[in-house]
């Protein structure tokens, strides 16, 4: 569905020193610096996959996403999405994809969302029957029936985001690029959006590529993680693999007396006793706990995703620094 | 080319929806729209000025009646050739608003053109009472053009709109490369005001300048359709100039197409 090979994007960024003289000088002499936002990434994505495209700010993930949607032209390398070269922005390609950017809007600001929907129906050549069927489905899934006839500017952020999602999905795209789709939303709407995206994937077998700094989004939606930093893919695998690679062990959680467990390395955390050990030491520790507290209530879990990602980013930065590289 | 034709087909199919959106927009912005239309009443000011000049005798064949008819026609043509793609593009490019439009299966330029054309009927409706008052005041202004003149006017005013749209689009696209493209347009606008027939009929220019104006694009953006509508130019005499108009539409259209392609690549470089 998506094939990326040695994809690279280099920006030429103008450099301007402060001060009046430098402003005058910049009229006839402009200096530029090259920034390698994406540096030769390669991967394949199969139909129906749900990908978490993660990385710290400035890692190159949005640039990569924009190259996959055709908004940016690659400096070198290849990208093919549904068999098309995205930067050609062929109509047949655009009808198969959608890009939802948390802070950019396509709703007509002074008109009700229904007008935007009607316009999109015309622009995307959606047959009337299919349009109504999809709109009914989206209205139900996104719980929109109470506000579709109000001007977009009068909607709450949550209502607007739901209408944005509906506008982006009316043509039933097969590939969803979601760039921070829950940013700025309250907890309830965030949960609604996550539930909706997962449901859309289930119903339509859509491929989903998500960027987000919210790990709840990632764990709710993504099944595979592509970790990108300094324009390079640092990890490509399942959430479980990510946890195994960067998690630094597993967490043994015990509901029991800390004074008897502290000697085994347990510390108090939110009213529970928690110890993190290497994966091959888990059985040994469980055995030791049962010796000390025979009736202990035990659970073994992976470390929180936030922690795993933090470690992964840290490791990526160290590798980048070791390679000697400012971009 | 096939993509462009498909785009045009989509624009035709989208026309009813665009018209509804334009109507809803006009209703939402009715006060702003009325002010916008009325602000384009510069021809009435020019009418008053030239009317005073012509009171002492015809200027280059333009007596008071001809002057009044010329500027009444200018008022109509200005409304029919209204485009605001310059400001729209400038805003969209600088604020990243172009991205959602680039993801639709229709060229953003064509989409904006269709939106602007959809608003045209409302501009005419707002203008009607003013024209009515003008004709009530000076009934001799009403000159019924012949059928061929009317047909040629329709062609010429359409080409004038296209020229205005394309030239504005070209200046708007400067925002892909420059921070302040509106200033550049100011220079063009000054030349346009002078040579298009906006501040004075081009017939009032010295004879040596006339052939130059004939070949420049400015008259084709305003003066030519005004003179056809006002009955100053017989349709047979106007025909070659409409050909020049068409030539400019093609030339500027090609430049716009090329610049747009380069600009969209550049838009990416902004990271918008």
Q: Concatenated DSSP letters for A194-219?
A: HHHHHHHHHHH--EEEEE-S-HHHHH
Tell whether A68 and A80 lie within a shared domain: yes
Mutate to test the interface with B, among A60, A119, A168 (most CBs of B within 10 A): A119
* Closest residue in chain A to residue B101, using alpha carbons only: A106
Is the same domain home to A70 and A101?
A: yes
| pLDDT per residue as tens digits for the range A129-177 | 999 999 998 998 888 989 998 988 899 888 888 899 899 999 999 999 9
Interface test with A, best of B22, B179, B269, B270 (most A CBs within 10 A): B269
Inter-residue contact A210 to A165 (CB < 8 Å): no
pLDDT digits (tens, 9 = 90+) for A228-286: 888 888 889 988 888 777 777 788 899 888 888 888 889 988 888 998 888 788 888 99
For residue B243, the distance in angstroms to the closest alpha carbon of chain A comes to: 33
Write out pLDDT tens, residues A63-75: 999 999 999 999 9
- Model confidence band, residue B156 (pLDDT cutoffs 50, 70, 90): very high
- Are the beta carbons of A277 and A231 closer than 8 angstroms? no
Contact state of A12 with B28 under an 8 Å Cβ cutoff: no
pLDDT band at residue A325 using 50, 70 and 90 as cut-offs: low
Q: What is the pLDDT of residue B184?
A: 84
| Pair A115, A154 in one domain | yes
Query: Looking at chain B, which residue has its C-alpha nearest residue A101?
Result: B100
Q: Which residue of B has its CA nearest to A12?
A: B269
* Domain residue limits at A239: 2-243
Between A73, A110, A121, which is nearest B28 by CB?
Answer: A110
Domain boundary among A217, A243, A269: A243
Q: Same domain, yes or no, for A270 and A206?
A: no
Domain match, A161 and A262 both: no
Average pLDDT on B230-245 reads 93
CA A91 to chain centre: 26
The pTM score is: 0.81
Contact B10 A97 (CB under 8 A): no
Residues in chain A with CB shorter than 8 Å from the CB of B269 are 11-12
Mean pLDDT score across all residues of chain B:
84
Q: Are residues A294 and A164 in the same domain?
A: no
- Band (B32; pLDDT cuts 50, 70, 90): low
Q: What is the DSSP string of B76-125?
A: HHHHHT---HHHHHHHHHHHTTHHHHHTSSS-HHHHHHHHHHHHHHHHHH
Contacts of B10 (CB under 8 A, 6+ apart): A91, A122, A123, A125, B105, B106
Q: Are residues A200 and A312 in the same domain?
A: no
Same domain, residue pair A227 and A251: no
CATH number of A159's domain: 3.40.50.300
pLDDT at B28: 67
Helices (H), A205-301: 215-221, 239-246, 258-261, 282-292
**Do A116 and A215 fall into the same domain?**
yes
Per cent of chain A over pLDDT 90 is 33
Instruction: Give the sheet arrangement for strand A232-238, strand by strand.
Output: A97-101, A175-179, A207-211, A50-54, A224-229, A232-238
- Is pLDDT at A327 greater than 50 in this prediction? no
Does residue A206 sit within a domain? yes
Across A44-64, average pLDDT: 90
A106 and A227 part of one domain: yes
Which of A243, A259, A292 marks a domain boundary? A243
Pairing of strands A97-101, A224-229: unpaired
Q: What does the pLDDT read at residue A117?
A: 92
Residue ranges making up the domain that contains B230? 2-270
**Between residues A313 and A197, the one the model is more confident about:** A197
| A327 lies in some domain | no
Q: What 3-state class would DSSP assign to A10?
A: strand
Pair A132, A78 in one domain: yes
Q: Evaluate if residue B107 carries a pLDDT over 80.
A: yes
Residue A167 burial (CB < 10 Å; 0-12/13-18/19+)? buried
Residue A120 has pLDDT above 80, yes or no: yes
Q: Residue A10: beta bridge partners?
A: A36
CB contact under 8 A, B271 and A97: no
**Chain B residue with Cα closest to A91:** B105
**Domains contained in chain A, number:** 2
Mutate to test the interface with A, among B19, B271, B272 (most CBs of A within 10 A): B271
The continuous run of DSSP H or E covering A80 comes out as strand A76-81
Are residues A15 and A151 both part of a single domain?
yes
Q: Does A97 sit within 8 Å of B16, measured CB to CB?
A: no
Q: What pLDDT, in 10s, does the model give residues A71-106? A: 999 999 999 999 999 999 999 999 999 998 865 578
Residue B162: the pLDDT is: 96
Q: Is the pLDDT at B269 greater than 60, yes or no? A: no
Domain count, chain B: 1
Residue A188 falls within a domain, yes or no?
A: yes
- Record: contact A94-B111, CB cut-off 8 A: no
For chain A, what is the mean pLDDT?
86
Does position A181 have pLDDT exceeding 80, yes or no?
yes
Q: Is the pLDDT of residue B33 over 70?
A: no
Q: Looking at the complex, report in whole angstroms how far the Cα of residue A125 sits from the nearest Cα belonging to chain B.
A: 7
Q: Has residue A258 been placed in a domain?
A: yes
- Chain centroid, CA A109 distance in Å: 26
Q: Label residue B34 by pLDDT band (50, 70, 90).
A: low
B14: nearest CA partner in chain A: A122
Domain boundary among the residues A243, A265, A280 is at: A243
Q: Which tops the pLDDT comparison, A251 or B15? A: A251
Q: Tell me the mean pLDDT in the region B124-132.
A: 79
Of B2, B6, B253, B1, give the one whose Cα is nearest residue B105. Answer: B6
More confident site: B147 or B55: B147
Residues of A in contact with B105 (CB under 8 A): 91-92, 94-95, 123-125
């Amino acid at each position: 569905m998506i094939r990326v090979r040695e994809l690279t994007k280099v920006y030429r960024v103008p450099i301007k020193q402060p001060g009046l003289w430098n402003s005058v000088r910049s009229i006839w002499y402009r200096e530029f610096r090259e920034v390698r936002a994406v540096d030769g990434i390669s991967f394949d994505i199969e139909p129906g996959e749900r990908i978490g495209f993660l990385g710290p700010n400035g890692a190159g993930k949005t640039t990569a996403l924009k190259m996959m949607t055709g908004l940016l032209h690659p400096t070198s390398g290849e990208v093919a999405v549904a068999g098309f070269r995205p930067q050609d922005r062929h109509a047949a390609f655009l009808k198969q994809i959608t890009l939802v950017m948390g802070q950019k809007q396509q709703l007509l600001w002074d008109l009700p969302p229904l007008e935007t929907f009607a316009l999109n129906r015309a622009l995307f050549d959606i047959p009337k029957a299919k349009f109504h069927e999809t709109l009914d489905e989206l209205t139900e899934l996104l719980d929109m029936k109470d506000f579709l006839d109000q001007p977009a500017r009068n909607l709450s952020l949550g209502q607007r985001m739901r209408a944005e999602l509906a506008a982006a999905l009316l043509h039933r795209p097969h590939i969803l690029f979601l760039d921070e789709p829950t940013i700025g939303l309250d907890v309830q709407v965030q949960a609604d959006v996550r539930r909706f995206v997962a449901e859309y994937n289930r119903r339509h077998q859509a491929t989903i590529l998500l960027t987000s700094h919210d790990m709840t989004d990632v764990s709710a939606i993504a099944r595979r993680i592509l970790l990108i930093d300094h324009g390079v893919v640092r990890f490509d695998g399942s959430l479980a693999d990510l946890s195994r690679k960067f998690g630094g062990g597993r967490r043994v959680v015990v509901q029991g007396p800390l004074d008897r467990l502290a000697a085994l390395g347990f510390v108090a955390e939110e009213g529970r006793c928690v110890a993190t050990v290497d994966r091959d030491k888990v059985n040994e520790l469980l055995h030791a706990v049962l010796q000390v507290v025979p009736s202990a209530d035990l659970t073994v879990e992976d470390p929180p995703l936030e922690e795993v990602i933090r470690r992964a980013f840290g490791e990526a930065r160290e590798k980048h620094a070791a390679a000697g590289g400012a971009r | 080319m096939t993509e462009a034709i498909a785009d045009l087909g989509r624009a035709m199919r989208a026309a009813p929806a665009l018209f509804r959106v334009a109507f809803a927009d006009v209703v939402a912005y009715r006060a702003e729209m009325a002010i916008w239309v009325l602000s384009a009443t510069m021809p009435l000011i020019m009418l008053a000025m030239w009317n005073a000049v012509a009171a002492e005798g015809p200027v280059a064949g333009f007596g008071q009646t001809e002057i009044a008819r010329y500027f009444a026609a200018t008022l109509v043509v200005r409304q029919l050739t209204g485009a605001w793609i310059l400001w729209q593009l400038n805003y969209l490019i600088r604020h990243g608003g172009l991205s959602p439009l680039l993801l639709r299966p229709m060229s953003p330029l064509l989409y904006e053109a269709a939106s602007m054309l959809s608003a045209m009927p409302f501009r005419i409706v707002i203008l009607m009472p003013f024209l009515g008052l003008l004709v009530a005041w000076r009934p001799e202004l009403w000159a019924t053009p012949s059928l061929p003149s009317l047909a040629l006017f329709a062609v010429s005013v359409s080409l004038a709109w296209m020229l205005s749209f394309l030239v504005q689009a070209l200046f708007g696209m400067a925002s892909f490369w420059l921070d302040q493209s509106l200033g550049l347009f100011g220079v063009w606008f000054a030349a346009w005001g002078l040579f298009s027939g906006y501040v004075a009929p081009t017939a009032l220019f010295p004879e040596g300048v006339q052939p130059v104006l004939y070949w420049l694009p400015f008259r084709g953006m305003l003066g030519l359709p005004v003179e056809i509508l006002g009955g100053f130019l017989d349709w047979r005499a106007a025909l070659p100039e409409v050909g020049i108009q068409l030539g400019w539409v093609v030339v500027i259209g090609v430049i716009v197409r090329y610049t747009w392609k380069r600009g969209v690549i550049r838009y990416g470089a902004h990271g918008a």
